[in-house]
């Protein structure tokens, strides 16, 4: 049997008092292991741990967030290093079954075998145990937690030229940069940028500036009025010659859910926004970039925009501007169409799916309900939804819980199994709350 001296690191015997190293095992899934193996050695670290004191720490790549969870090891694992053999007070011995007899003490030992001459045993450097680990961290894919983005950017809003010139507003303004934000939100850079776009945040002079719904409602109609209305949309509400109470017959181009592309000159759009208190070209072009792309045709800059997405944004900010309470449905739709102007045929409630709930007649109300206004905790989220409606259709409720699972159907089914009871009435299946008092 081979014998080897083992000793534990004694921090108290470190004269400089500099032994502060600690260890933690991290098990990486195949995707992360492949990322580390292919990352250039000269590039910055491919992995980063983020989260402030109020959050659970997460591991992020450039585009993905991983939750960290501790798993107890069935056997204790030791972190070892070669020792010097000078710490005689804590020397231990262990025997490894590799055959042969080898000594490892600081002093040479004499072989006391009876069948041969005495000989010295070979000396080996002792093993020094620096830490004993009882837990391993596992990295599992997780949904980015960007729910506190609105709170972090509160006070940094851009509300037009007049507000920028107000000295009182400038004195109380928050100055938030992307670098300061990424250190406080447990999400990857790509996921944070997606959340910034979703929350209508622009970068102005290096600082992040949200655009309030009231400001967007005042400037987006100028964009729509500058865009040429495609022929298919212009003829959507044309009379059909039948007694249809003045309503036109919708054509497929307007009724479809695909994009409705239209182009306009860059100067025309920027000037139109400047005329409604949005004089910053940087803000104007960032806003236009949400709905399309910039082109260069015959040496002139043009914008190719999806008019359907602009109309959708007008509907969202109109709904948000009315608060989170219920408001009459018909007056809301009428106002939405009047603001959309020539693009009024595109104003359909299906564009706002997942951002509102409607009550049928005789109430006929609509309520603004973006998922960002709901709790990120699954139990609280289902409780809030069932407090608004006692039963839901699967297609309707799924829109308000998909952000909890990142679109993962298996995770969504697990949440439904835990919090939802399915009740079938004739050919319709309703989702009702599951009693959790037990």
What would the DSSP string read from start to end of 353-376? TTSEEEE-TTT-EEEE--GGGS-S
Distance CA 50, CA 188 (A): 9
Instruction: Return the bridge partners of 51, or none.
Output: none
The encoded tokens of residue 6 equal: 């083992």
Is 309 buried (19+), middle (13-18) or exposed (0-12) by CB count in 10 A? Answer: middle
Looking at the DSSP assignment, which residues form a beta bridge with residue 141? Answer: 66
Q: How many domains does the chain have?
A: 3
Q: What is the 3 state secondary structure string of 63-98?
A: CCEEEEEEEEEEEEEEEEEECCCCCHHHEEEEEECC
Q: Could you tell me if residue 430 is inside a domain?
A: yes
Q: What is the CATH number of the domain that holds 409?
A: 1.10.10
**Strand-strand pairing, 365-368 and 292-297:** unpaired
Average pLDDT, rounded, for the chain = 82
Residue 343 lies in a domain: no
Q: What is the mean pLDDT of residues 35-47?
A: 68
In a domain, 104, yes or no: yes
Arithmetic mean of pLDDT, 347-364: 92
- The answer to whether 120 and 109 have CB atoms below 8 angstroms apart is yes
- Select, from the ranges 96-105, 117-126, 368-377, the one with the highest average predicted confidence (pLDDT): 368-377
- Residue 25 resides in a domain: yes
Least confident of 43-47, 114-118, 216-220, 276-280: 114-118
Domain contains 337:
no
Provide mean pLDDT across the span 176-191: 91
Q: What digits encode the pLDDT tens for the residues 259-277? A: 999 999 999 999 999 999 9
Is 35 in a helix, a strand, or coil? helix
What pLDDT is stored for residue 38 in this prediction? 79
Helix axis angle for 307-321 and 213-226, nearest 10°, is: 150
How far apart are the C-alpha atoms of 138 and 360, rounded to whole Å? Answer: 48
Indicate the residue among 309, 324, 341 that finishes a domain.
309
In a domain? residue 119: yes
| Of 248, 253, 257, 249, nearest in space to 233 by CA | 253
Domain end position, chosen among 309, 335, 359: 309
Give the pLDDT band of residue 353 (cuts 50, 70, 90): very high
The Cα–Cα gap between 438 and 158 comes to: 49
Q: How far apart are CA 77 and CA 377, in angstroms?
A: 35
Neighbours of 50 (CB within 10 A): 18
**Torsion-angle region of 332 (φ positive above 0: left; ψ -120 to 50: alpha; else: beta):** alpha
Q: Are residues 205 and 275 in the same domain?
A: yes
Cis before 242? omega within 30: no
Tell whether 300 and 260 lie within a shared domain: yes
Are 197 and 289 in a shared domain? Answer: yes
Q: Give the confidence band of 2 by pLDDT, cuts at 50, 70, 90.
A: low
User: Tell me, what's the pLDDT at 71?
Assistant: 87
- Say if residue 127 is in the same domain as residue 166: no
When pLDDT is cut at 50, 70 and 90, the band that residue 247 belongs to is very low
The span from the CA of 182 to the CA of 193, in Å, is: 10
The tokens of 231 are what? Answer: 């022929």
For residue 173, being part of any structural domain is answered with yes
Q: What is the pLDDT of residues 184-233, one digit of tens each?
A: 899 999 999 999 999 999 999 999 999 999 999 999 999 999 999 998 78
Confidence of residue 360 (pLDDT cuts 50, 70, 90): confident
**How many whole angstroms from its chain centre is CA 40?**
26
Phi then psi dihedrals of residue 102, to 5 deg: -130, 130
DSSP sequence for 369-398: --GGGS-SSHHHHHHHHHHH-S-EEHHHHH
Burial call 113-147: b when 16+ CB within 10 Å, e when fewer? eeeeeeeeeebbebbbbbeeeeeeeebeebbbbbb
Same structural domain, 129 and 171: no
Evaluate if residue 438 carries a pLDDT over 50.
no
* C-alpha atoms less than 13 angstroms from C-alpha of 369 in its C-beta half-sphere: 23
> What tens digit of pLDDT does each residue of 58-85 get?
999 989 999 998 888 888 788 887 655 4
Tell me what pLDDT residue 268 has. Answer: 95
Cα 381 from Cα 75, distance rounded (Å): 39
Of 269, 284, 309, which residue constitutes the final position of a domain? Answer: 309
Going by pLDDT thresholds of 50, 70 and 90, the confidence category of residue 53 is: confident
Q: Are 82 and 212 part of one and the same domain? A: no
Q: Is residue 359 part of a domain?
A: no
| Whether 184 and 131 share a structural domain | no
Average pLDDT over residues 346-375: 92
What is the pLDDT confidence band of residue 100, given thresholds at 50, 70 and 90? very low
Cβ-in-10-Å burial (0-12, 13-18, 19+) of 7 comes to: buried
**Secondary structure class of 123 (helix, strand, coil):** coil
160 and 302 both lie in a single domain: yes
Q: Are residues 32 and 118 in the same domain?
A: yes
Question: Is residue 250 pLDDT above 90, yes or no?
Answer: no
Q: In angstroms, rounded to a whole number, what is the distance separating the alpha carbons of residues 149 and 246? A: 46
Rounded to an integer, the average pLDDT of 420-434 is 92
For 159, phi and psi rounded to 5 degrees?
Answer: -120, 25
The answer, yes or no, to whether residue 88 has pLDDT greater than 70, is no
> Which range, of 133-137, 232-236, 348-352, averages the lowest pLDDT?
232-236
Domain limits for position 37: 2-142
Please indicate whether residue 168 or residue 5 has the higher confidence score (pLDDT).
Answer: 168
256 and 290 part of one domain: yes
Contact 64, 187 (CB under 8 A): no
125 and 100 both lie in a single domain: yes
**pLDDT at position 436 over 70:** no
Residues 292 and 416 in one domain: no
Determine how many CB atoms are found less than 10 A away from the CB of residue 280.
20
More confident residue, 253 or 272: 272
What are the φ and ψ backbone dihedral angles of 149, each rounded to 5 degrees? -60, -45
């Amino acid at each position: 049997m081979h014998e080897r001296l083992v000793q534990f690191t004694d921090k108290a015997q470190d004269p400089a008092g500099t032994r502060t190293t600690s260890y933690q095992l991290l098990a990486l899934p195949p995707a992360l292991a492949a990322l580390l193996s292919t990352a250039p050695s000269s590039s910055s670290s491919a992995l980063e741990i983020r989260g402030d004191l109020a959050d659970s720490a997460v591991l992020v790549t450039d585009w993905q967030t991983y939750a960290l969870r501790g798993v107890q090891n069935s056997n204790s694992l030791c972190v070892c290093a070669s020792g010097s053999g000078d710490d005689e007070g804590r020397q231990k011995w262990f025997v490894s079954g590799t055959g042969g007899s080898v000594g490892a003490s600081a002093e040479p030992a004499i072989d006391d075998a009876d069948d041969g001459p005495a000989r010295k045993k070979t000396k080996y450097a002792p093993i020094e145990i620096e830490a004993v680990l009882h837990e391993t961290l596992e990295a599992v894919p997780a949904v980015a937690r960007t729910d506190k983005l609105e709170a972090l950017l509160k006070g940094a809003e851009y509300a037009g030229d007049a507000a920028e010139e107000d000295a009182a507003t400038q004195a109380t303004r928050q100055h938030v940069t992307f670098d300061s934000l990424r250190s406080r939100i447990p999400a990857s850079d790509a996921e944070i940028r997606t959340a910034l776009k979703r929350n209508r945040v622009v970068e102005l002079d290096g600082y992040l500036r949200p655009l309030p719904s009231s400001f967007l409602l005042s400037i987006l109609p100028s964009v729509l009025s500058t865009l040429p209305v495609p022929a298919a949309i212009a003829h959507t509400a044309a009379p059909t010659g039948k007694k249809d109470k003045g309503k036109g017959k919708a054509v497929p181009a307007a009724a479809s859910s695909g994009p409705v592309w239209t182009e306009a000159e860059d100067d025309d759009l920027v000037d139109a926004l400047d005329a409604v208190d949005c004089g910053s070209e940087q803000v104007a072009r960032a806003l236009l970039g949400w709905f399309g792309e910039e082109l260069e045709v015959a040496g002139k800059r043009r914008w190719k925009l999806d008019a359907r997405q602009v109309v959708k944004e007008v509907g969202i900010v109109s709904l948000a501007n009315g608060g989170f309470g219920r408001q009459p449905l018909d007056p809301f739709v009428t106002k939405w169409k009047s603001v959309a102007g020539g693009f009024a045929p595109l104003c359909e409630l299906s564009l706002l799916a997942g951002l509102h709930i409607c009550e049928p007649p005789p109430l006929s109300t609509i309520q603004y309900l973006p998922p960002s206004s709901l709790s990120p905790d699954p139990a609280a989220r289902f409780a809030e939804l069932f407090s608004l409606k006692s039963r839901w259709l699967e297609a309707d409720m799924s829109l308000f819980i998909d952000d909890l699972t990142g679109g993962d159907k298996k995770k969504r089914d697990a949440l439904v199994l835990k919090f939802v009871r399915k009740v079938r009435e004739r050919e319709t299946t309703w989702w009702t709350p599951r009693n959790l008092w037990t």
